[in-house]
Copies of this chain bind each other. A is one copy, B any other.
Amino acid sequence: MDPRGARREPTMRDVAALAKVSTKTVSRVINDLPGAGPDVVERVRAAARTLGYRPNLTASSLRRSDKRSATIGVLFEDLSNPFDAALLRAVEDRARQTGVLVLAGSSEDDPDLQRELLTSLATRRVDGMVVMAVGGHQDALQQERERGTPMVLVDRPPTFGGTDSVTTTNRDSSRDAVLHLAALGHRRIAFLGDRQTLWTSQERYTGYLEGLAHTGLTLREELVRTDLRGPDAAQAATTALFDLDEPPTALFTAQNLVTVGAMRTLRHHGLHRSVALIGFDDFPLADMLEPGVTVLRQDVPALGRRAAELIFARIDGDQSPPTHAVIPAALIQRGSGEIPPPHDQVGAGRGAARTARSRSDTGP
């Protein structure tokens, strides 16, 4: 195919020589700048075409005064997670409109890895970054920000000042989920959550507490299981819940993988039609399970779009005070969240208010 190794890419100088003009004139033609006559333009274009010339963006961005690399960095937790993937796609779509490409990386929720990727992006002089911060301290992010790198945090807000963020109504929506369950008469609502170092987990837990408080329910410590990393941990925790003397009649699972684990256990014990479940984060096929899974659905494309808009505004020099956009999540009723508690469990005066399994949508 390419017998003697990769051949040298043609440069402006090659084009200039062939078209018998100076490199500067080639530069003018390539960049559609004025100052080149029609005949010269045509000669240069022809020369570039025959040589297969393509400008070298790295050289150009080195020299240009604005130093733009037309590249942004995206640093999420795990690009194979559907949530992260959808977010990346939304950012990418917006970036493409401006001719900007995306350097993507997974931080694995590991501070060291995040720091490493951060400097990796920085040495490539990206124009800005969209970051899902790892749990714990955000020193590395703050330092990067203080150097002047445009940055937008998604899913989790900054613990430091002066930086834009886009998040979901974690707390309010979680509270709504609990209120929804309580309105059906549930009194023993369990909380299953991800690592408590994550801001989203904390917020969702706080929303859970608010929900309990609003309906006069008391917090039962044994119904709260946090720091569940992945479906297996969630599965084990759910099993433990049903070994209790007084097991929960409803579950609020505060993260998508946790939801999956809990559902597995419910099915395993044949409880999926009798124990109510509401999960945070929608997932494909949630409507095709029996019962359909009631979820709080985040508007992921909107999150991504907003994050992209913010970062590009900053890159373009927007100096206005930092924005903290909050995108509302919606409660999608599919059945699992509308299961009432067993009759002997219904609290005084709080009858099941809604029709169970009121399928209100067509799918995720």
Q: B-contacting residues of A (Cβ < 8 Å)?
A: 1-2, 5-7, 9, 52, 54-59, 61-62, 69, 71, 78-82, 84-86, 88-89, 92-93, 96, 99, 101-106, 117, 119-125, 145-150, 161-163, 260, 263-264, 267, 283-285, 288-290, 317, 319, 363
Contacts and interface: CB of A to CB of B under 8 A. Distances in A.
Contact of A80 (B89, B101, B267): B89
A124 B1 contact: no
A263 B290 CA distance: 13
Contact of A146 (B2, B93, B147): B2
Contacts of A117: 101
Nearest to A59: B62
- 6 closest Cβ pairs, A-B complex: A1-B162, A6-B148, A80-B89, A85-B85, A57-B123, A58-B58
A181 B86 CA distance: 35
A260 B289 contact: no
24 contacts: A1-B145, A1-B162, A5-B148, A5-B319, A7-B147, A7-B148, A54-B122, A56-B123, A57-B124, A58-B62, A58-B124, A62-B62, A79-B88, A80-B82, A80-B86, A81-B85, A82-B284, A85-B85, A92-B104, A101-B120, A102-B104, A103-B103, A267-B288, A283-B284
A56 B2 contact: no
A284 to B, nearest CB: 7
